[in-house]
Structure 1
């Protein structure tokens, strides 16, 4: 599905959030590998579960056509610096919910990009009949956890010793969910 693009400004940084387009595919492929190398908050090491240009084109096409999916990108000065996805299911028992995920280049943290990607995704979900948005977040990503709580997400479960990080220690993954307010 697509949304109407929105413009934002925070801390003198202007950026736009819009729906992903197929011609973004190569940049998204390269960006994902770069972001994976900047933080251990995500599931992958750089290059793991690699999605090439063709793979991103397929994802964008699918997400644009399906009512239960949304793929957003963030542009700063015509350069994509982050993205988010909501992925739903066409199975009747799961059709009421989507899973949210997000990636933003580290140099653009602190500009409200994650907050605005989440806000736009939740507005879309609420307007399309989605009743629940879920996500997973590493226990050490306190900033993200606090943001999610501000948007009504609650911790629904903990996957203990779920991720092995570079320090050789295991960390928990929190499963969080937000129910549609008018259920």
Structure 2
């Protein structure tokens, strides 16, 4: 498996990965079938991310497939440019193999090289595996968002977690 920076030519495979993650897990923001992004729109999104010095997506490539990713999306203004919001997803058949740890290490190395200061994310409070990974990587719970999502007819709470890079 290879972890590398996303390229515009990954648009179709990245979109397929995101749709598969939407189907496989209840822990991503979008539900199965809700993602309407076209390949061209995805290519433009990738282009936009790569054009900014405080944004990145790293993908995990296994053979011809993309099986995971981590995205770091930096703030767009002077006051929050140092902050990077993180989204991560790994196909279920590839979890438990240390890929999440490696993705976070890669993202943190990238963030430090750009003198970014704050990494942050949200996670559903019942997603124990993800919370364990985030804690292992040095993230701390900063707050609780009550009823922030509505999943399968039930309101779900989320933790706000962050890690400061010194």
Structure-2-length-normalised TM-score:
0.94
What does residue range 91-110 of structure 1 map to in structure 2 within 5 Å?
91-110=77-96
Structure 2 residue ranges without an equivalent (≥5): none
Are residue 128 (structure 1) and residue 123 (structure 2) matched? no
Aligned mates of 1:138, 1:59 — CA distance in 2 = 26
What's the secondary structure of 2:161's corresponding residue? strand
Deviation at 1:153, TM superposition (A): 0.8
User: 1:76 — aligned with what?
Assistant: 62
User: 2:159 — aligned with what?
Assistant: 174
Aligned mates of 2:162, 2:13 — CA distance in 1 = 30
Contact 1:33–1:50 at 8 Å: present in 2 too? no
Aligned mates of 2:131, 2:38 — CA distance in 1 = 30
Aligned length: 166
Contact 2:84–2:120 at 8 Å: present in 1 too? yes
Q: 1:89 aligns with which of 70, 75, 81?
A: 75
Aligned mates of 2:36, 2:139 — CA distance in 1 = 29
Structure-1-length-normalised TM-score:
0.86
Contact 2:19–2:35 at 8 Å: present in 1 too? no
Deviation at 1:169, TM superposition (A): 2.6
Are residue 111 (structure 1) and residue 97 (structure 2) matched? yes
Aligned mates of 1:96, 1:27 — CA distance in 2 = 30
What's the secondary structure of 1:95's corresponding residue? coil
Show CA shifts across 1:77-117 (max 9, x none): 23211112101123100011110101111111111111111
Aligned mates of 1:27, 1:176 — CA distance in 2 = 29
User: 1:162 — aligned with what?
Assistant: 148
What's the secondary structure of 2:129's corresponding residue? helix
Aligned mates of 1:53, 1:179 — CA distance in 2 = 35
What do you get for the CA RMSD once the two structures are aligned? Answer: 1.2
What's the secondary structure of 2:133's corresponding residue? helix
Aligned mates of 2:158, 2:71 — CA distance in 1 = 19
User: 1:9 — aligned with what?
Assistant: none
What's the secondary structure of 2:116's corresponding residue? coil
User: 2:124 — aligned with what?
Assistant: 138
Deviation at 1:132, TM superposition (A): 0.1
